[in-house]
Chains A and B, each alone.
Chain A
Amino acid sequence: MTETEAESSEIELDLPVEPSSVTIARRAVRELSEQLGAPGEDVALAVSEAVGNAVVHAFRHREAGTISVTAAPRRDMLVVTVADDGTGMIPGAESPGLGVGLSLISQVSNDVRVQSSERGTTVSMSFPLGEQEGAAE
């Protein structure tokens, strides 16, 4: 696993395809979101769902790869991406639980976009900045 924090206001994580990556990504992005005044609970839930989906679904029929998580402020939003190099979303594939995760993400984020191809899936989510009490100046 490689793990870097390019700047204090940005996060880049390359994580293995295993359940503990859900916890690692959630804690890191939650801490950043709370520093920046984004809604930490919402961000934590969305990251947990997106990384969990990648762990459970993205590599079901191939060798495990990497899950990349980035988080950075962009204008008045915190933009979080969770990308994997798995099989992409397969229409009609057996994928128990997939809908619950995306439903939760869509309910707690301002915007969610999913790009999927045979080279993997990227989930991009955005959250408002500077609206939470205790946000860093």
Chain B
Amino acid sequence: MSESYLELTRESHPAGTGELAVVKVTGELDLSNAEELTAAMAREALEAGLIVDLAELSFMDSSGLRVLMLAASDRGARLALVAEPDSPVRRVLDLAGLTDRIATFPARGAAADAVEQAGE
């Protein structure tokens, strides 16, 4: 298998009176498959909140960063990321300065709170 393993799962997280869309990303994200994440996020309504859960992602390079940045430019504060502290993916986010531009949390609960507040 030459392409990176990547699994994208549509989940939801309870928030307020409803629920927020969660795209859970598992595996490795690079040039060979970054567009799959673009497509998965594009299936979610722009005006709704969206959490991208990277906690199970073992590798990401700038191809993934680019996809997340484009999503953030469309969705603003209605997009939040979940990444484990001290994880390789969190480190890449920090190195690229992305955590200054997209709210990033260690767990879905805090991410959901931030996205909900942005939508109020």
Tally chain A residues at the interface, Cβ within 8 Å.
Answer: 21
Once A56-B31, A104-B92 are accepted as A-B contacts, the answer to whether A49 and B61 lie under 8 Å apart by CB is: yes
Stretch of A18-26, A58-66, A86-94 with 4 or more beta carbons under 8 angstroms from chain B: A18-26
Residues of B within 8 A of A52 (CB): 30-31, 61-63
How many residue pairs at the A-B interface have CB separations less than 8 Å?
57
Contact with A along B12-37 (1 / 0, CB 8 A): 00000000000000001011110000
Q: A20-B3, A24-B2, A41-B88 are in contact. Are A104 and B30 (CB under 8 A)?
A: no
A97 to B63, CA, bound (A): 9
Query: How far does the alpha carbon of A22 sit from the alpha carbon of B91 in the complex, in Å?
Result: 20
Residues in chain A near residue B32, CB distance under 8 A: 19-20, 22-23
Q: How many residues of chain B get a CB closer than 8 Å to chain A's CBs? A: 19
What is the minimal beta-carbon distance from A116 to any residue of chain B, in angstroms?
19
A55 within 8 A of B: yes
A45-B92, A101-B61 given; 12 more Cβ-contact pairs under 8 Å: A19-B33, A23-B3, A23-B28, A41-B88, A41-B91, A45-B61, A48-B30, A52-B63, A55-B31, A100-B62, A100-B65, A104-B96
Identify the 10 closest CB pairs spanning chains A and B, nearest first: A19-B32, A48-B61, A20-B2, A19-B31, A100-B62, A52-B31, A23-B4, A22-B31, A41-B88, A20-B32
